[in-house]
Structure formats: structure tokens, C-alpha cells
Amino acid sequence: MLEKKVQMLEFDQHGDERGRLVIVEGMQDIPFDIKRIFYIYGSDRNVIRGQHANKRTEFVLINVAGTSKVKVKDGKGNEAVFSLNRPHTGIYLPRMIWKDMYDFSCDSVLLCLASEHYDAEEYIRDYDIFMKIVNGECE
């Protein structure tokens, strides 16, 4: 099984003369069962979305059309930027990772697979609080 750290995932493309098909199965191609999907489109280049971390939810983000970027931070000084620019690749985000999604192309459709149902209470939207939690200064 995949390690539960931020990583790019590459899914098989099943192609024939009719086009391409990409399959993402929970606990097989990604390291969780999928309880929720949502997708983001119509965001401009200058928009920054996300800007939160989740206490319980793991995600996989896939630009099924267009492109965007994701910046991840662990709250301990490490950060990385990933480009989502192919419909058969995605990024896996474990719990307690700060994420900013930005630089959306006008045709971007960002598909998000989530391990949990929506619960506003498990979103951390304040970066200072996020840093305090990951550094053990508060719960």
C-alpha cells in the first residue's frame, strides 16, 4: 500500500481508439476509501483556494481538465509546490497538511476525492493555530 505522505500518484490510462479511461478505486489506487467527491471549476488565475488543513480527512486532487498548482506546508518549515497538469495524475494529501490551490487555468476542473464526509469542525482555517497544533502547543 502507498505510504501516507504527500506524494504524486500516477494512475493507469486505459486507452483504445475510443479514447482514454482512468480508474481510481479506494484502497487500491489511493490509500483510503472514498466517502465524498467534489470538484472546483471557474476559479481564476489570481484566486487562492483551500487555505486550510484537515484534522481527519485525507484527499486526492486530480485536475481532470486544465491545470492548477497546490502548495503544501507541514507547519514545521517544510513546503512544496506540485503542478496538477495531467488527468491521470493526482496528489495525495494526508491529514494535517496545509494546502493552497492556485494558478487555475480557465478550463481547470479540479476533482477532489475525500476520505470523510464534510464536517466543518475538522477544518483548520487559521495557519497560526495549525502551526501550534502540529508543533504540540495546542490541540
- Residues carrying an active site annotation: 52
Cβ-closest residue to ligand TYD? 49
Q: Is 38 in the site for ligand TYD (CB under 6 A)?
A: yes
CA–CA separation, 133 and 82 (whole Å): 24
Q: Is 93 in the site for ligand TYD (CB under 6 A)?
A: no
Distant-in-sequence, close-in-space partners of 15: CB < 8 Å, separation ≥ 6 = 21
Could you give the C-alpha distances from 90 to 23, 127, 134, in angstroms and in order? 12, 24, 25
Candidate segments 4-12, 32-40, 74-82, 86-94, binder of ligand TYD by CB under 6 A:
32-40
CA–CA separation, 97 and 49 (whole Å): 14
Q: Is 81 in the site for ligand TYD (CB under 6 A)?
A: no
Q: Any idea what DSSP says for residue 30?
A: B
49/132 with CB nearer ligand TYD: 49
> Of 6, 40, 53, 61, which one interacts with ligand TYD (CB under 6 A)?
40
